Amino acid sequence: MLRSHTCGELRLTDVNTEVTLAGWVQRVRNKGGLLWVDLRDRYGVTQLIFEEGSTDKSLLEKAASLGREFVIQASGKVIERTSKNDKIPTGAIEIKAETLEVLNAAKVPPFIIEDETDGGDELRMKYRYLDLRRNVVREKLQLRHRMMQETRKYMDAQDFIEVETPVLIKSTPEGARDFVVPSRVNPGEFYALPQSPQTFKQLLMVSGFDRYFQIVKCFRDEDLRADRQPEFTQIDCEMSFVTQEDILRTFEGLVRHLFTNVKEVQLGEVERMTFADAMKYYGNDKPDLRFDMKFAELNDVAQGKGFAIFDQAELVVGICATGAGEYTRKQIDALTEWVKRPQIGAKGLVYVKCNEDGTYKSSVDKFYNQEDLKAWAEKAGAKVGDLILVLSGDAKSTRKQMSELRLKMGEDLGLKDRNVFKPLWVVDFPLLEWDEETQRFHAMHHPFTSPKTEDIPLLETDPGAVRANAYDLVINGVEIGGGSIRIHDRPTQQLMFKHLGFTEEEAQKQFGFLMEAFEYGAPPHGGIAFGFDRFCAIFGGSDSIRDYIAFPKNNSGRDVMIDSPSTIADEQLKELSIQVELKKA
């Protein structure tokens, strides 16, 4: 070993010990006859001291020539520091250096490699190998490592078997776009990279494996944002001979295990809510329960008073912003402009202030008297000092707009505490959702999700009303995982394919192998997949998953460090029997 200790482990108890350290030069402070070097490795920082008189002159000169990020090895004796640094664990000692060897000189890095850096996002992504030297980035990957190990520990204790599934698979038409890989030995044919191991984990259940899991890389060619990457990681799980309740309890156990052993947080009750209630009261299927602000439907108390905007609306809905009654006209005007932005799409915003004297001040006082506004306040649960915000229009878009406004108010009022965790199971999702573009129903989750038995007759009469045996785990407004009880017999799977618009030939071509497997004794089964990168970001208190991925892509799906994707040589294309013809935009 080139070192006897790391740069993070020496303490006062090690004084007078002869040690050898190796690492990167964080900084050099040269006071002429006295020079200090902060030496950094993955474990911490230790200060080296070189002093004129007690240090050989050539050694002092060598130390003075060191630059930032030089890789060095230094030996010497541990001594007590006269001026201690209580901000680092090694701050009570330093190394009186006796030897110094430069293992590798370094160019001046393009940004400061410290917690507070001067490097922008794109620059740090280009030099990601340097960015990874920073404590704040490395700690995120160490958190990821701990979560991975604790996941495996819990799953192993629950008798799950970790099984790897193929990365080169068959392209399927449902879900996001596939990444495809040409086959050299089968010209004109393509593999796809898996969006998830869905069919393989079901086949493992048919194989009798009973309990499967995998921490697996998945790929989706979709528009990117802070919580999306073209390649991402799932904790993928499947169980046989279980009900939905068994799955919820098993994986609620995993979530509790991770919070206890990684975050040292004891979770309270994990609430449950139907999809219908989530949409009715929060306007989305992943409500943030760290704050209340439930929707209050006001049609019965707001319509019929001569205010045409409300009278013509399918839905009039409000939220109560507790303690926001002191909002100024300027603040409310800013909110109004915010909801009218194209991204939100509301035509306007109505407000009611609940004054300290028990009266109400509204932007629609012309149409509503004090008794009318009192009725609004009672329905919204508003009290003195609160602010009621009201939107109206068609039900679907108005709920979506109010959901965005609710989240903004939660942010503005400081209600999104990153140290508070509110997990929620959302259950009873619709089996199908209508797609206006294709004019047909699509599976809300995937084609293998089973319908509620009592709802199967509705497939013929009202497909949109059929509920699925599907569930999502939501934490603080972020979907962390989702799954379902699967279809496990051929007739039901064929029925599902029929209602998704597959011909028998298409279903056989795409999924014939799975339906045939069902005829050889498939057990009832179900599972769940957790977005591992999102899970890590929640634990780390971040909105973006990128810092929890060692080498992430940017918003264009590019790795700017290795300049990928890139063109390939004509000879490679010829081997793959591929000719590239780019269409003009």
Provide the pLDDT for residue 52: 87
Which of 83-97, 224-238, 467-481 is least confident? 224-238
- The per-residue b/e assignment along 426-452, b for 16 or more CB within 10 angstroms, e otherwise, is bbbbbbbeeeeeeeebebbbbbbbbbe
Percent above pLDDT 70 for the chain: 99
Is 428 annotated in some ligand binding site?
no
Is 532 annotated in some ligand binding site?
yes
Q: How far is CA 35 from CA 58, 404, 428, 432, 505, in A?
A: 13, 56, 67, 70, 78
Please say if the pLDDT value at position 173 is more than 90.
no
Which of 261, 299, 304, 267 is closest to 280 using CA atoms? 299
Give the mean pLDDT of the chain. 94
Q: Which residues contact 422 (CB under 8 A, 6 or more apart)?
A: 271, 288, 289, 290, 475, 476
**Would you tell me how many other CB atoms lie within 10 Å of the CB of residue 362?**
19
Q: What integer is the mean pLDDT of 447-465?
A: 91
Provide the pLDDT for residue 504: 87
Q: What integer is the mean pLDDT of 409-427?
A: 96
Express each pLDDT in 103-138 by its tens digit.
999 999 999 999 999 999 999 999 999 999 999 999
What phi and psi values does residue 326 have, to the nearest 5 degrees? -90, 5
Percent above pLDDT 90 for the chain: 85
Express each pLDDT in 217-268 by its tens digit.
999 998 877 678 999 999 999 999 999 999 999 999 999 999 999 999 999 8
CB 285 within 8 A of CB 472: yes
Please say if the pLDDT value at position 541 is more than 80.
yes
Provide the pLDDT for residue 175: 67
Is 527 annotated in some ligand binding site?
no
Is 115 annotated in some ligand binding site?
no
d(CA 236, CA 239): 11
Is 445 annotated in some ligand binding site?
yes
Please say if the pLDDT value at position 51 is more than 80.
yes
Provide the pLDDT for residue 506: 86
Quote the Cα angle for 232-237-240, to 5°.
160
Q: Which residues contact 120 (CB under 8 A, 6 or more apart)?
A: none
Q: What integer is the mean pLDDT of 465-494?
A: 94
CB 392 within 8 A of CB 316: yes
Is 174 annotated in some ligand binding site?
yes
d(CA 330, CA 191): 57
Is 257 annotated in some ligand binding site?
no
Is 489 annotated in some ligand binding site?
no
Provide the pLDDT for residue 449: 93
Please say if the pLDDT value at position 30 is more than 70.
yes
pTM: 0.91
Provide the pLDDT for residue 226: 67
Please say if the pLDDT value at position 314 is more than 90.
yes
Which of 57-61, 253-257, 389-393, 525-529 is least confident? 57-61
Please say if the pLDDT value at position 46 is more than 70.
yes
Provide the pLDDT for residue 144: 98
Report which secondary-structure segment, H or E, holds 33. none
Please say if the pLDDT value at position 471 is more than 70.
yes
Express each pLDDT in 141-161 by its tens digit.
999 999 999 999 999 999 999
Q: What integer is the mean pLDDT of 497-518?
A: 88
Provide the pLDDT for residue 109: 96
d(CA 546, CA 532): 12
Is 533 annotated in some ligand binding site?
yes
Q: What integer is the mean pLDDT of 274-293?
A: 96
Q: What integer is the mean pLDDT of 351-380?
A: 95
Provide the pLDDT for residue 141: 97
Provide the pLDDT for residue 223: 81
Please say if the pLDDT value at position 174 is more than 80.
no
- Judged by DSSP in three states, 36 sits in strand
Is 277 annotated in some ligand binding site?
no
Is 551 annotated in some ligand binding site?
no
Which of 19, 572, 545 is closest to 231 using CA atoms? 545
Is 479 annotated in some ligand binding site?
yes
